[in-house]
Copies of this chain bind each other. A is one copy, B any other.
Amino acid sequence: MRCEVLAVGTELLLGQIVDTNSSWIGEQLALAGIDSLFQTKVGDNAERIADCLRLALGRSDAVIVCGGLGPTQDDITRDVIAEVMGVELRLDPAIEHRIRTMFESRFRHMPENNLRQAMVPEGASTMAEMPGTAPGLVCPIGDQVVYAVPGVPYEMKEMVLGTVLADLQRRAGVRNVIRSRTLRTWGHSESGMAELLAPYHDELEQSGRCTLAYLASGIEGLKVRLTVKADTEDEARQVLDDETRLVCSVLGDVVFSTDDVPMEQVVLDLCRRLGLTLGTAESLTGGLIASRLTAVPGASDVFRGSVVSYASEVKYDVLGVPRGPVVTEDAAAAMAEGACRVLGCDVSVAVTGVAGPAEQEGLPVGTVFLATCVGGEAAAVPVRLPGDRERIRQFATISVLNLLRQRLLAEA
């Protein structure tokens, strides 16, 4: 069973609204075991909507049309569906009554425009869920079906969850479940991981039942997404567990999370488990590490604070870095030690480097020193990070947190 999504609305094409509806519907379809191979956005134009709808019916079994069910003249989804079905629109008295009652209950006059929303193509049925004034429509065309739902996300979601998915599964006789899991990694490139995993390609693919996708995500790490198609929920979980074990055994400790948890939360959880408090000393990252850590609810029982030492004097005077060059391994190590001392924390990370736009102390943009301090012992390493200012800051953040993670795991 193939079902595609057609999102209607000129504002979507103009980028005034991001089409999150299609993404959400796509996710629901996947979880329901329905293939969704195309998603299209089209403006409020009858001819082009009709063309898209006919095209979709030529390559899929079902289509969900999202948007264009409002009361105004540019809401033409109903009319186009009737045209494609080759039927007339007729006024549905039950829907008219519901709309009138809705207005009356809010002590408001119903504009005559709203009666447009009670027009239903002959042969179509309306959905039971109707949180707004636009009814959802189930429009059979031979063996195929077109669903029309409003573009307002909460109205659309109620109808998709309440009517559309079950109707699709019933039509498809679906039993399949599709489940996915995201492993997060840091330390290998996308192509490097692909190379490492290549020998296991057949085993991982399981004759097409399982797919692997890589996703570069900056500060979120490089994600490996496993997706599996199975007969039952239990089987899907079993396959995902097996695949996860295999990938982890090949990639080793570059995998920092098997349940899509971000690095900062992994580090907070690890510190919490080891009974350690955490602080940061930041120059290049300028508070980004602290900001990420404190974005995690419940960070306060582990995280003590940060000294953002952007000016060299703050490094010398507050953190006790020896006067001299501040973009060095020694300075990074001294910053990490200073953080533990000043903030009264057990472990810390520190970053100094050149984010650009200009070079500093004769060092090129991207030169970065990362340090950790554990048990009073500081250790620093140089790295060379790619990209623009923001990416260098992001890569430094996840890299230094990963260093602390690996050091704590090694010493634990």
Contact = CB atoms under 8 A, between A and B. Distances in A.
Contacts of A30: 13-15
Most B C-beta atoms less than 10 A away, residue of A107, A182, A386: A386
A20 interface: yes
A224 to B, nearest CB: 11
Nearest to A393: B295
B389 A297 contact: yes
B26 A14 contact: yes
Contact of A344 (B17, B192, B317, B385): B317
Interface residues of A, number: 110
A112 B356 CA distance: 31
Interface in A266-308: 277, 280, 282, 285-291, 293-295, 297-300, 303-308
A156 B288 CA distance: 25
Contact of A10 (B71, B213, B286): B213
A83 interface: no
A36 interface: yes
A20 B22 contact: no
A308 to B, nearest CB: 4
Interface in A101-141: 102, 105-109, 111-114, 131
Interface stretch (A41-49, A234-242, A245-253, A404-412): A41-49
Contacts of A211: 10
Interface string A1-24: 000000000111111111110111
A257 interface: no
Given A37-B13, A227-B14, A307 B304 contact: no
A94 B113 CA distance: 61
A301 to B, nearest CB: 9
13 contacts: A13-B38, A15-B24, A16-B27, A38-B42, A105-B386, A106-B386, A282-B287, A285-B291, A286-B290, A287-B287, A300-B311, A305-B308, A307-B318
Given A14-B227, A70-B214, 6 more contacts: A111-B189, A113-B191, A152-B216, A297-B356, A303-B311, A314-B344
Interface of A: 10-20, 22-28, 30, 36-43, 45, 48, 51-52, 55, 59, 70-74, 102, 105-109, 111-114, 131, 152, 154, 180, 182, 189-192, 194-195, 211, 213-216, 225, 227, 277, 280, 282, 285-291, 293-295, 297-300, 303-311, 313-314, 317-318, 342-344, 356-357, 384-391, 393
